[in-house]
Amino acid sequence: MPKIKAGVIVFPGTNCDRDTYYALKQTMGCEVDSVWYETKTLRKYQLIVIPGGFSYGDYLRAGALARFSPVMEALREYTEKKGLILGICNGFQILLEAMMLPGAMQRNDTLKFICKDVQVRVERNDTPFTLLYKKGDRIQIPIAHAQGNYYGSEQTLASLEKQNQIVFRYCDESGNTTEQSNPNGSLHNIAGLCNSETTILAMMPHPERASDSTLGNDEGRKIFLSIKKALS
């Protein structure tokens, strides 16, 4: 079976690209390229990951400047071909700024950069990114961000709920989505969203940091294995 071809986009200021590269290569067995932000085509890939970091130093707003990079034009073309996109942390912020998903990120309501393990509940397993989980599974996974406080207008939130686009929600250890288990003030406890076609998943938690037992946590591993299964 030919290897899955994956690309990890690297902007100036991206800093989770090597971890993501490792996860794609070791966990999924992909043929992986680091893709510089000036790249003009992504046609040869089946999976594109926008990793975490601080693209363009988070200047103006997180993700705002990255949105106008040449690679984002290529990403739009890639989307039209229904290629899979996984946006992690800064990747989520960039996808929102690029309006490839609705809403916006605000500063955490604690005003602090939060770096810790949280619990999230898997809301649906009929996406290419979550098919090896069970609906309602609770996974422990790290977050590391200052702007992960998801905001959507009432209309946006109603539409996300109606179309079942919320893939992960922050929850407590029993799987309840409480205010206390919400680390950043995110509306509806949103930790991850997909588009209506389920070809794009954007999430604030870092699955690449929970993809291998040698890292002390492999509860995010199934995200990579799900994508592998979906693309095989």
Partner 1 sequence: MLAKIFIKPKKGILDPQGKAVSGALARLGFNRIQDVRIGKYIEIKFDAGDTDTAQSDVRSMCETLLVNKVIEDFTFEIAEE
Q: What is the distance between the alpha carbons of residues 104 and 125, in angstroms, rounded to a whole number?
A: 24
Distance CA 35, CA 30 (A): 14
Residue 77 falls in the annotated catalytic set:
no
Q: Which stretch binds partner 1 (CB under 8 A): 40-48, 77-85, 108-116, 118-126?
A: 108-116
**CB of 151: closest distance to partner 1 in angstroms?**
6
Q: Which of 58, 97, 208, 219 binds partner 1 (CB under 8 A)?
A: 97
How far is it, in rounded angstroms, from Cα 54 to Cα 10? 11
Mention every residue, 6+ apart, whose C-beta is less than 8 A from residue 148: 89, 92, 105, 108, 114, 183, 184, 186, 204
Q: Is 145 a known active-site residue?
A: no
Instruction: Determine if 188 is a binding residue for partner 1 (CB under 8 A).
Output: no
Distance CA 136, CA 138 (A): 6
Residue closer to partner 1, measured from CB, 122 or 204: 204
In the block, residue with structure tokens 């800093």: 15
Query: Per CB under 8 A, which of residues 167..186 are in contact with partner 1?
Result: 185
Annotated catalytic residue, options 97, 145, 206, 219:
206
Count of CB atoms within 10 A of residue 44's CB? Answer: 11
d(CA 180, CA 83): 36
Question: Among 7, 53, 152, 183, which residue sits at the site for partner 1 (rule: CB under 8 A)?
Answer: 152
Count of residues that interact with partner 1, criterion CB under 8 A: 20
Among 2, 40, 111, 180, binds partner 1 (CB under 8 A): 111
Q: Which stretches of the chain bind partner 1, using CB under 8 A? A: 60-61, 64-65, 68, 97, 102-104, 106-111, 149, 151-153, 185
Active centre residues (catalytic) = 89, 206, 208
